[in-house]
């Protein structure tokens, strides 16, 4: 049966070699049988610019994606950790960059895809930060810095983010119901797929009298998982 695969929040890094190996087996195996693979953000723990593509770990991930994209369409949507992944990476790997949100037809069901961070509107500090770092002029200035300086900035930001998460109520970091409902309205879809929150689940919603479903993708901290979408619906598939 035809199917499309979805992953997000892999947070690939040399420090988690086992996760990287699971991903390598995934792109060599199950993903090659899909009609398409969608990566909905945070493929990497962080991405400091396409000029870091030559680093051995990054080059290895890119080579795997290049091999897969020669056989299967691969789509990539930016996450909050890898929004600096740009055209050079896309050309090197053959992946196609997607806007956030994006609407796709999955076997007759219109589905809206997001990374998921834009749905967390109650976290006003994060949303303000997101607007700043997505500024094109600020990104250009950042990319003018040497790689070591950019890497140090991201490491500091990651530590600061981890401390902030410990002090922020869980409900603030999760999606806001009104934002979810508005996304369903804006897209006209009855299915949503996103990541970011690291809380894999299926949620049922009723929006303006329409029955809708929202699938939250798993992170890959404790192993790999992808969402398989086929004409019969959605199924989670664990990877080892």
Helix (H) or strand (E) holding 105: strand 102-106
What is d(CA 102, CA 99) in angstroms, rounded to the nearest whole number?
Answer: 6
Q: Report, as an integer, the average pLDDT of 72-78.
A: 98
Give Cα 116 distance to the centre of its chain: 8
Residue range 98-117, pLDDT digits in tens: 999 999 999 999 999 999 99
pLDDT at 240: 79
**What's the pTM value of the predicted model, to 2 decimals?**
0.93
Confidence band of 82 (pLDDT split at 50, 70, 90): very high
Confidence band of 141 (pLDDT split at 50, 70, 90): very high
Query: Please, what are the domains in the chain?
Result: 4-239 (3.60.21.10)
Contacts of 115 (CB under 8 A, 6+ apart): 8, 40, 41, 42, 77, 78, 79, 80, 100, 194, 195, 196
């Amino acid at each position: 049966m035809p199917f499309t695969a979805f992953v997000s929040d892999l947070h690939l890094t040399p420090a988690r070699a086992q996760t990287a190996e699971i991903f390598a087996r995934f792109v060599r195996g199950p993903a090659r049988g899909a009609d398409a693979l969608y990566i909905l953000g945070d493929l990497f723990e962080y991405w400091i610019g396409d000029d870091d593509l030559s680093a051995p770990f990054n080059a290895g991930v890119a080579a795997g994606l290049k091999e897969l994209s020669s056989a299967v369409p691969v789509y990539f949507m930016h996450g909050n950790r890898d929004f600096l992944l740009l055209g050079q990476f896309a050309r090197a790997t053959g992946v196609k960059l997607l806007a956030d949100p994006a609407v796709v037809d999955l076997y007759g069901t219109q589905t809206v895809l997001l990374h998921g961070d834009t749905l967390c509107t109650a976290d006003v500090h994060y949303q303000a930060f997101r607007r700043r770092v997505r500024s094109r002029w600020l990104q250009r200035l950042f990319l003018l810095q040497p790689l070591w300086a950019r890497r140090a900035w991201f490491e500091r930001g990651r530590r600061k983010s981890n401390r902030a998460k410990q002090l922020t109520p869980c409900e603030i970091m999760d999606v806001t119901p009104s934002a979810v409902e508005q996304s369903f309205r804006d897209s006209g879809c009855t299915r949503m797929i996103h990541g970011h929150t690291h809380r894999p689940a299926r949620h049922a919603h009723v929006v303006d009298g329409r029955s809708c479903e929202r699938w939250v993708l798993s992170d890959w901290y404790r192993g790999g998982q992808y969402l398989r979408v086929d004409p019969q619906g959605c199924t989670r598939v664990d990877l080892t």
